Structure 1
Amino acid sequence: MTTQLTATDIRSEGWWAVSVPEVDGLFTQTRSLDEIPAVVRDALTLFPELGIDPSDTEISVETVMPEY
């Protein structure tokens, strides 16, 4: 069964700061938006107690634009 997760990202000092609301404590960062799904899958390996198979996970990316 495929797990659906959302990666929320916001630009922060030259990086994209990424959080996954469905996984408490999963925060990471990347230089480019296209790397987010792979980085999130890699970070999921740090949460084996959740029983989520990173290779069977669909990541939706939501970019948060800062308000000026």
Structure 2
Amino acid sequence: MLSSLVPGLRDLRTPRTVGSLWLTSLRVLFGSQIPSSTAEADGLAHELFRLAGAFGAPILLAGGTA
């Protein structure tokens, strides 16, 4: 029913799935190099930790997957 309301939604399914697979693969490969706390982070990672503290992780997750 949703696909009849939004005709272009079906066209976005494959690119979004492929992008998610790439991001998951990168996370598995480089996960050990990602800082796990604000004390370890610097630069862009530090700013992302600050945003997560201000807005909350669910909001950032929703924004990152949109």
Q: Same fold (TM over 0.5)?
A: no
For normalisation by structure 2, the TM-score amounts to: 0.23
Q: Which has the greater radius of gyration?
A: 2
Instruction: Tell me the TM-score normalised to structure 1 length.
Output: 0.22
Relative to total residues, which structure has the larger strand share, 1 or 2? 1
| Higher share of residues assigned helix | 2
